[in-house]
Amino acid sequence: MHPVSLDSFTKKYKTLVEERLREAVSALETPENLAKAMLYSLEAGGKRIRPLLVFAVIDAFGKDPQDGLDAAAAIEMVHTYSLIHDDLPSMDDDDLRRGKPTNHKVFGEATAILAGDALLTLSFNLLTEIPEDSIPANIKLALIKGLSAAAGAPGMVGGQVADMEGENKKLTLEQLEYIHINKTGKLLEYSIIAGAEVAGATAEQKEVLSKFAYHIGLAFQIRDDILDLEGTEEMIGKPVGSDTANEKSTYPALLGLAGAKDALDSHLLSAKDSLAQSGLEVGILDQITDLIGLRNN
Amino acid sequence: MHPVSLDSFTKKYKTLVEERLREAVSALETPENLAKAMLYSLEAGGKRIRPLLVFAVIDAFGKDPQDGLDAAAAIEMVHTYSLIHDDLPSMDDDDLRRGKPTNHKVFGEATAILAGDALLTLSFNLLTEIPEDSIPANIKLALIKGLSAAAGAPGMVGGQVADMEGENKKLTLEQLEYIHINKTGKLLEYSIIAGAEVAGATAEQKEVLSKFAYHIGLAFQIRDDILDLEGTEEMIGKPVGSDTANEKSTYPALLGLAGAKDALDSHLLSAKDSLAQSGLEVGILDQITDLIGLRNN
């Protein structure tokens, strides 16, 4: 295991992926205002957890994380498009995201919808543009297939619809998990599988990493729900207790706060178990798992 | 040249692509209401001109048009998503499309946005799912690359933004052509190139077909503008003269009605010239070109 700190790893690859995102949009021949709207949300900050997972998985295989740069950028575009559309007046109607006005507040609703559409479309284009000598055609196709499945009706978009349908209803734990597995889990899982594809993982390695992905995806969401109760407004970027105020079904609401914390610990432990089983150099992935357990925002 | 009538060709392949669209959505594991919203707009009718172009080009190479079924279905999904988003209250705010209530009128704005997102995403997934023995990986990648370029910021989405920005402004002919080439032209052009890719066209053949595509794309739009003045409400599915009422820049407004008709004839002639130069069996393509010149809706 090579002793790289998560901090220096994060700093290096966050910079790289942010540069790639800027480059990809700047290279487009398109109306200036559309490019501006796309960049506005891409550059609004965030932890870039999905790109980091791509890079960390490739690192775990002892390969050069930079091989996953386009895959990482494509995933971040899809994540960003989903935030722009989720914030729209007809959806969550949010005025702020990470302390900044949301896309439609700055550019208007029509341009925000189109900026989201353009980012989603560009993500697939980016994957087709990867040079053949760096990633072969069949792996590129696997990346596009995985991203389109994770992002679409059987994944993220389906989860968002289920989430809207569940508003102001008391959900079962099963229904709540369906929403989270699809709305946020599948794109997180895909980030890990994309790294594995780029690194040339075997089917067995991908299976172990899928388990890891499943558990950190749910851990991520449970921690989010707990933070809504225990965090500060500064930490989470929105008023504390807004889920309760909005009568949202959450893990603490269903399991109690102590029960939710137990579930979090159990998913983190299972995630770490999967990593240990993988036989890979999982130093960075292990630290990311710890970070998800402790994250403040 | 084999003597197939456009009518029987259209009937056969329209049915096939409509079946494929239904199958692809029905196979999704996704909330019922999302699948319903996707199908509602896919099944709202329409001439399926883009799929027909895919099939007709493959036919011109003497190959089996059915080889292009998934490419044709993917393009129709992208076209349908663009109509759903264009009709939204924040965009064109249309209540009716082809005489039926628009998607957001039936399913609500949030679901309509998500149904559009899901159709766009599914289009790329569909192209990755084509069996390897029917289309090789590098052609599938070329199809995805072309579709994502035609549909995105450097194509359809960019054209829609330019169209919105041009509202209530007097545009130059150059600005008007930028809008049409991007908003509708690039996806029409891609339909033709997709057929050529599937049929294994050479670079030279693709170039001639691109010219054909360019001219029928503009002819299509000019005819649309002329119909707005000369059609009946029944023919065009919206009030006659609505472009004039909305102070939209159109070809007749810029060139006069006679000038617009001259431009239409000139593009149709150039389209037919390109077909003649191609050396292909262009019977069906020739008939489609005539249809675009004469079309009533």
Sort residue B281 into left (φ over 0), alpha (ψ -120 to 50) or beta. Answer: beta
- The per-type count for chain A, helices as H runs and strands as E runs, is 15, 2
8 Å CB contact between A20 and A76: no
Contact B160 A114 (CB under 8 A): yes
User: How are beta strands A100-101 and A96-97 bridged, if at all?
Assistant: antiparallel
A97 phi and psi, to 5 degrees? -140, 125
User: What does the alpha-carbon distance between residue B255 and residue B229 come to, in Å, rounded to a whole number?
Assistant: 14
Kindly list the residues from chain A whose CB atom is less than 8 angstroms away from the CB atom of residue B33.
161, 165
Q: Are strands B96-97 and A100-101 parallel, antiparallel or unpaired?
A: unpaired
Residue from the list B35, B111, B152 with its beta carbon closest to the beta carbon of A118: B152
**pLDDT (tens digit per residue) in B183-203:** 999 999 999 999 999 999 999
A122/B152 CB distance under 8 A: yes
Query: Is pLDDT of B123 > 80?
Result: yes
Contacts of A109 in chain B (CB under 8 A): 90
Q: Are A53 and A193 in contact (CB under 8 A)?
A: no
Instruction: Spell out which residues of chain A touch residue B120, defining contact as CB-CB under 8 Å.
Output: 117, 120-121
Q: Do B120 and A121 touch (CB under 8 A)?
A: yes
Provide, rounded to the nearest whole percent, the portion of chain B with pLDDT above 90.
Answer: 82
The shortest C-alpha distance from A112 to chain B (Å) reads 10
Q: Which residues of B touch A124 (CB under 8 A)?
A: 124, 144, 148
Q: How does DSSP classify residue A133?
A: T
CB contact under 8 A, A144 and B128: yes
Looking at domain A6-294, does it have CATH number 1.10.600.10?
yes
Kindly tell me the burial class for residue B79, based on how many C-beta atoms sit within 10 Å of its own C-beta (0-12, 13-18, 19 or more): buried
Judge contact between A108 and B167, C-beta under 8 A.
Answer: no
Q: Which residue of B has its CA nearest to A104?
A: B90
Angle at B289 between CA B288 and CA B290, to 5 degrees: 90
Q: What is the CA radius of gyration of chain A?
A: 19
Probe site for chain A from B34, B103, B121 (most A CB atoms < 10 A): B121
The chain B residue lying nearest A120, using CA atoms, is: B121
Interacting residues of B23 by C-beta distance below 8 A, sequence separation 6+: none
User: Which residues in chain B have Cβ-Cβ distances shorter than 8 Å to A148?
Assistant: 121-122, 124-125, 128
Residue of A nearest to B108 (CA): A90
**Which of B141, B163, B179 is the mutation pick for testing A, counting most A CBs within 10 A?**
B141
Chain-chain contact of A120 with B120 (C-beta, under 8 angstroms) = yes
SS3 per residue for chain B = CCCCCHHHHHHHHHHHHHHHHHHHHHCCCCCHHHHHHHHHHHCCCCCCHHHHHHHHHHHHCCCCHHHHHHHHHHHHHHHHHHHHHHCCCCCCCCCEECCEECHHHHHCHHHHHHHHHHHHHHHHHHHHCCCCCCCCHHHHHHHHHHHHHHHCCCCHHHHHHHHHHCCCCCCCHHHHHHHHHHHHHHHHHHHHHHHHHHCCCCHHHHHHHHHHHHHHHHHHHHHHHHHHHHCCHHHHCCCCCHHHHCCCCCHHHHHHHHHHHHHHHHHHHHHHHHHHHHCCCCHHHHHHHHHHHHCCC
CATH 1.10.10.10 fits B6-290, yes or no: no
Distance between CA atoms of residues A71 and A198, nearest Å: 8
- Output the pLDDT for position B52: 97
- For residue A35, the chain B residues in CB contact (below 8 A) are 153
Please provide the average confidence, as pLDDT, over all residues in chain B: 93
Distance CA B205, CA A280 (A): 49
Q: Is A85's CB within 8 Å of B114's CB?
A: yes
Given a cut of 70, the residues of chain A with pLDDT beneath it are 1-3, 232-239, 245-246, 295-297
Q: Which residues contact residue B273 at a Cβ distance below 8 angstroms, ignoring those fewer than 6 apart?
A: none
Minimal-distance CA residue of chain A relative to B156: A118
Locate the chain A residue with the closest alpha carbon to B114.
Answer: A157
A113/B88 Cβ within 8 A:
yes
Q: Identify the pLDDT of residue A274.
A: 97
What is the Cα–Cα distance from B99 to B215, expressed in whole angstroms? 29
Domain ranges of chain A: 6-294
pLDDT at B68 over 80: yes
Long-range residue pairs from B43-47, CB within 8 A, at least 24 positions apart, any chain: B43/B18, B44/B80, B44/B97, B44/B98, B44/B100, B45/B98, B45/B100, B46/B98, B47/B295, B47/B297
CB within 8 A of A17, min separation 6: which ones?
A48, A51, A55, A69, A72, A73, A76
**Cβ atoms of B62 and B204 closer than 8 Å:** no
- Alpha carbon B168 to its chain centroid, in Å, reads 25
Least confident window among A37-41, A221-225, B84-88, B262-266: A221-225
How far apart CA B126 and CA B121 sit, in angstroms, is 9
DSSP reduced 3-state for A263: helix
Supply the pLDDT for residue B120: 98
Indicate the residue of B28, B151, B164 with minimum beta-carbon distance to A153.
B28
Nearest chain A residue to B24, by CA: A153
Strand partners, A97: A100
Mean pLDDT, rounded, for B108-126:
98
Q: Does position B1 have pLDDT exceeding 50, yes or no?
A: no
Mean pLDDT of B151-164: 97
Q: Do A158 and B31 touch (CB under 8 A)?
A: yes
Q: Return the closest-CA partner of residue B21 out of B50, B37, B42.
A: B42
C-alpha distance from B134 to closest chain A C-alpha (Å): 15
A33 interaction partners in chain B (CB closer than 8 Å): 161, 165
What are the chain A neighbours of B30 within 8 Å (beta carbons)? 153-154, 157-158, 161
Q: Please answer yes or no on whether B110 and A164 come within 8 Å at the CB atom.
A: yes
Pairs across A and B, CB distance < 8 A: 155
CB contact under 8 A, A141 and B128: yes
Amino acid letter, B222 = I
